[in-house]
Amino acid sequence: MAQDNKTCPHCKTVGHSGFYCKSPLKPRKPLKRAAIKKTVAKAPVKKKAKKRSYYVKKLDSVFSQYIRQSKSVDGIGTCVTCGTPKPWKEMQNGHFYSRGRYGTRWDETNCHIQDAACNVFLKGNYINYTRYMIDKYGREYVDELEIKSKLSTKITTVELQEMINHYQNLLTEA
């Protein structure tokens, strides 16, 4: 490539054109500024409606807390299957008939305080739990509860919300 023998108009040196000159005397081109965009007022974003699963989970939590608090004495709950006393926060809400059965999932007579050993590790400790249920409610009621648990029940989202409010109010009163 042949070298330019032109003299730079800015720094007066020979050998380069004025395009790449670093001289402070070189005039600078003003920056192009982007036009300011006018913002259009957007409609407020609507909150998404919460899914049914949110309300089921929320009701499970509130109902569990209610059962553990209401069936404990002076903050101490006693496991219905083994008799172990512990603070209610360390206990669990044990279901006689499984939570998968919506007919009795939030039935107060189906739920009692159990410790984690009985509820989880012994899978409900059903022999002792059945004895407790028959002693407390009688054989006929336990049979009725079984029928109720097997019914196909659909609880609406509105009913779930009402139940959440009901149990939250009961917790605040206690």
Q: Within a domain: residue 135? A: yes
Residue 60 structure tokens = 């499970």
Between CA 126 and CA 134, with CA 128 as vertex, the angle to 5 degrees is 95
Mean pLDDT of 15-38: 68
Q: What is the pLDDT of residue 160?
A: 95
- Give the structural domain span for 138: 66-153
Q: Is 157 a residue whose pLDDT tops 90?
A: yes
How would residue 12 be classed by pLDDT, with cut points 50, 70 and 90?
A: confident
Give the range among 18-32, 42-56, 97-111, 160-174 with minimum mean pLDDT. Answer: 18-32
> Which secondary structure element, helix H or strand E, spans residue 64, and what is its range?
helix 52-70
Contacts of 16 (CB under 8 A, 6+ apart): 4, 6, 8
Q: Within a domain: residue 74? A: yes
Q: Within a domain: residue 51? A: no
With contact defined as beta carbons under 8 Å apart, do 67 and 93 qualify?
Answer: yes
Q: Within a domain: residue 19? A: no
Q: Within a domain: residue 44? A: no
Q: Within a domain: residue 115? A: yes
Q: Within a domain: residue 10? A: no
Q: Within a domain: residue 58? A: no
Q: Is 90 a residue whose pLDDT tops 90?
A: yes
Q: Structure pTM?
A: 0.71
Q: What is the pLDDT of residue 1?
A: 45
Report the distance separating Cα 91 and Cα 113, nearest Å: 6
Indicate the number of domains in the chain.
Answer: 1
